[in-house]
């Protein structure tokens, strides 16, 4: 027997005399469902804030270097990606400009996915009906869950604010920045909450929410492309963060917008929940569509079909980032040439600045490799989702072994990771070609394919966790991969000993094409990835299937 899907945890006991205890129990249950991810996110954000401040102080040690940094804001590509520099001669202002948009995107995506899982995912699995058996209305359940997700967003913003304050960037600016991050996360949670009421299928609700996320990010890029389009920033949560200016002349009206918007979105979601039945939706699909049997001939093909939409989203996002990175090659090359102090700092961090174009491409290739590694963790997490929702039980009742099913997901992870690397290489080369930068296609391919061994290692770790600790499949592998990257990012500047730096697989990557490829390190990491995946497969084959 392949296993069963047990109901994890105890069903909350609620009072039948009052709705208040039921609401408290719903809150406690929601906290239990999201606490691990929320705590990990807060820790990573806080740690990254410390890294950003330290990197700034090391890279721009004097006022002259910090004033030259502001000139990067004159480049259109830099403005579109990073935003318009404001108070970047201060540590706090630099953190907002350099890391604010990226942290907002990470926290926003987390809030979007978690909200969709809590609202539409629980209804899809039938567990929402168990909660509604208590004396609590569906609208109140949505309200309580929205409050818990908002509290998690506030926790993450508080972690950022606390670390920035401790690093001496200023109390008021740090608190404003933390509140702005929380507002962005809560806004995207509100978007997902509304989509969960409109669409019956969780996948569709998540896809619509992700599309809104992408449109709002592109809107912010368009707003930053020219001063005449600056008013568009008011239409995007990312733009609110650009307009806030927390560390100099803060705009309190912008903060009010970022806090009022999620409250309004959640209010709409609560109202919509009261207007529909449990398990239903306000927008119903057409059940008369022709049946599609394509890619249903085996578990691997079915896994590909189920992940096409999310793969497309990752592909577009990574390719867009790679294109903007390529477009910045010429700007960074000129900046390094004009700033010898900055060049020395980069060389102390392991970047060979003799050829700035190749050095920057190698640096960005490693960063894009991190993104692809995170994708590989998610891709193995899709296998965990099949098990958690009970769909795997139906697959294994057929003549399909566990090893065949899991190996299909691993093969897809490798194939799609290579696809993402190739797409990012072409996009980086195209961005460099548009701006006339000296970066050939061969160099771009080398830079983007170089981190693939680390990608495989991250996937292997995810498979191992799937077999040993299935609930940590995504969170554990993502946390380990992100920590490894941060160790390599700040370790050399802090003169950490080689044994510590050697724990990070990123440390063993050469900055290709500025440095020669390291075949021994690549083979070693690939072999270790295979061992981790095999061990995970053995553990998975021997344990029972478990639910979410």
- 69 in the same domain as 49: yes
pLDDT at 169: 93
Q: Does residue 491 belong to any structural domain of this protein?
A: yes
- 354 in the same domain as 277: no
Residues 6 or more apart whose CB falls under 8 angstroms from that of 24 comprise none
Point out the domain boundary residue: 254, 283, 312: 283
- 356 in the same domain as 254: no
Q: Does residue 451 belong to any structural domain of this protein?
A: yes
Q: Cis bond leading into 513, ω under 30°? A: yes
- 405 in the same domain as 257: no
> 540 is written with which tokens?
């998975």
- 424 in the same domain as 348: yes
Q: Does residue 4 belong to any structural domain of this protein?
A: no
* Cβ neighbourhood burial of 19 (10 Å; 0-12, 13-18, 19+): middle
Rounded-to-integer distance, Cα 169 and Cα 304, Å: 47
- Split into its structural domains, the chain has a count of 2
pLDDT at 8: 43
Q: Does residue 39 belong to any structural domain of this protein?
A: yes
In degrees rounded to 5, what are phi and psi of residue 99?
A: -115, -10
Rounded-to-integer distance, Cα 366 and Cα 370, Å: 6
- 41 in the same domain as 184: yes
- 272 in the same domain as 323: no
Q: Does residue 386 belong to any structural domain of this protein?
A: yes
- 129 in the same domain as 253: yes
Rounded-to-integer distance, Cα 463 and Cα 405, Å: 13
Point out the domain boundary residue: 232, 252, 283: 283
Tens digits of pLDDT across the chain (548 residues): 444 444 444 444 444 444 456 888 899 999 998 998 899 899 989 988 988 898 888 777 777 777 777 776 667 777 887 888 888 889 999 999 988 988 999 899 999 989 998 999 888 878 888 888 888 899 999 999 999 999 999 999 999 999 999 999 999 999 999 999 999 999 999 999 999 999 988 878 888 998 899 899 889 988 888 888 889 999 999 999 999 999 999 999 999 999 999 999 999 999 999 988 888 888 876 545 565 656 566 777 877 877 787 788 889 889 988 998 898 888 877 777 766 656 665 565 556 656 778 888 888 999 999 999 999 998 999 899 888 878 888 888 888 889 999 999 999 999 999 999 999 999 999 999 998 888 899 999 999 999 999 999 999 999 999 999 998 898 889 889 988 998 888 787 677 888 889 999 999 998 899 889 999 999 999 999 999 999 999 999 999 988 66
Q: Does residue 6 belong to any structural domain of this protein?
A: no
Point out the domain boundary residue: 250, 283, 316: 283
Three-state SS string over 44-65 comes to: HHHHHHHHHHHHHHHHCCCHHH
Residue of 87, 268, 107, 75 lying closest to 190 (CA atoms): 268
Q: What is the pTM of this model?
A: 0.81
- DSSP three-state, residue 466: helix
* Cβ-defined contacts of 277-284 (< 8 Å, 24+): 278/123, 278/128, 278/129, 278/132, 278/138, 279/123, 279/128, 279/129, 279/200, 280/200, 281/197, 281/198, 281/199, 281/200, 282/197, 282/198, 283/198, 283/199, 283/200, 284/200
- 332 in the same domain as 200: no
- 333 in the same domain as 270: no
pLDDT at 18: 46
Q: Does residue 289 belong to any structural domain of this protein?
A: no
Handedness of CA 192, 195, 210, 452 (dihedral sign): positive
- 260 in the same domain as 233: yes
- DSSP three-state, residue 461: helix
Residues 6 or more apart whose CB falls under 8 angstroms from that of 43 comprise 159
Handedness of CA 207, 210, 214, 215 (dihedral sign): positive
How many Å from the N-terminal Cα to the C-terminal Cα in the chain? 20
Q: How many CA atoms, within 13 angstroms, populate the side-chain half-sphere of residue 261? A: 22
Q: Does residue 548 belong to any structural domain of this protein?
A: yes
- 208 in the same domain as 65: yes
Residue range(s) defining the domain that contains residue 405: 295-548
pLDDT at 348: 56
């Amino acid at each position: 027997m392949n296993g069963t899907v047990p109901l994890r945890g105890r069903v909350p006991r609620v009072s039948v005399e009052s709705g208040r205890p039921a609401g408290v129990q719903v809150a406690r249950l929601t906290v239990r469902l999201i606490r691990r991810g929320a705590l990990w996110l807060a820790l990573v954000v806080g740690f990254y804030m410390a890294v950003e401040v330290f990197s700034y102080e090391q890279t721009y040690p004097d006022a002259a270097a910090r004033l030259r940094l502001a000139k990067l804001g004159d480049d259109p590509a830099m403005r579109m990606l990073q935003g318009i520099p404001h108070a970047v001669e201060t540590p706090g202002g630099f953190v907002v400009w350099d890391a604010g948009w990226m942290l907002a995107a990470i926290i926003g995506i987390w809030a979007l996915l978690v909200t969709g899982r809590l609202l539409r995912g629980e209804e899809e699995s039938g567990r929402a009906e168990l909660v509604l058996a208590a004396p609590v209305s569906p609208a109140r359940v949505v309200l309580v869950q929205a409050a818990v997700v908002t509290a998690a967003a506030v926790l993450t913003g508080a972690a950022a604010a606390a670390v920035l304050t401790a690093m001496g960037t200023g109390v008021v600016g740090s608190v404003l920045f933390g509140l702005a991050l929380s507002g962005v996360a809560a806004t995207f949670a509100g978007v997902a909450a509304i989509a969960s009421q409109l669409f019956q299928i969780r996948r569709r609700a998540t896809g619509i929410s992700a599309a809104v996320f992408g449109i709002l990010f592109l809107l912010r890029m368009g707003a930053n492309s020219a001063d005449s389009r600056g008013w568009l920033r008011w239409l995007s949560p990312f733009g609110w963060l650009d307009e806030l200016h927390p560390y100099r002349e803060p705009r309190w009206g912008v903060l009010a917008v970022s806090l009022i918007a999620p409250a309004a979105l959640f209010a709409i979601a609560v109202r919509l929940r009261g207007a529909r039945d449990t398990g239903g939706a306000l927008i119903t699909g057409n059940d008369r569509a022709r049946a599609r049997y394509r890619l249903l001939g085996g578990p691997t093909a079915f896994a590909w079909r189920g992940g096409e939409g999310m793969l497309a989203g990752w592909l577009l996002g990574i390719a867009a980032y790679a294109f903007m990175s390529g477009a910045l090659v010429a700007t960074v090359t000129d900046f390094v040439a004009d700033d010898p102090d900055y060049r020395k700092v980069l060389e102390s961090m392991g970047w060979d600045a003799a050829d700035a174009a190749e050095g920057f491409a190698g640096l960005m290739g490693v960063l894009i490799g991190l993104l692809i590694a995170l994708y590989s963790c998610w891709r193995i997490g899709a296998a965990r989702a099949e098990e958690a929702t009970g769909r795997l039980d139906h697959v294994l009742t057929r003549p399909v072994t566990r090893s065949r099913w899991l190996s299909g997901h691993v093969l897809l992870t490798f194939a799609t990771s290579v696809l993402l690397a190739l797409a990012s290489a072409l996009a980086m080369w195209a961005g460099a070609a548009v701006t006339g930068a000296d970066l050939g296609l061969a160099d771009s391919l080398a830079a983007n394919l170089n981190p693939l061994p680390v990608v495989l290692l991250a996937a292997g770790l995810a498979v191992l966790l799937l077999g040993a600790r299935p609930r940590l499949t995504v969170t554990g592998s993502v946390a380990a991969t992100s920590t490894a990257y941060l160790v390599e990012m700040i370790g050399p500047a802090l003169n950490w000993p080689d044994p510590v730096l050697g724990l990070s697989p990123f440390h063993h990557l050469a900055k290709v094409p500025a440095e020669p490829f390291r075949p021994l390190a690549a083979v070693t990491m690939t072999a270790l990835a295979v061992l981790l995946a095999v061990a995970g497969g053995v553990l998975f084959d021997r344990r029972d299937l478990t639910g979410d």
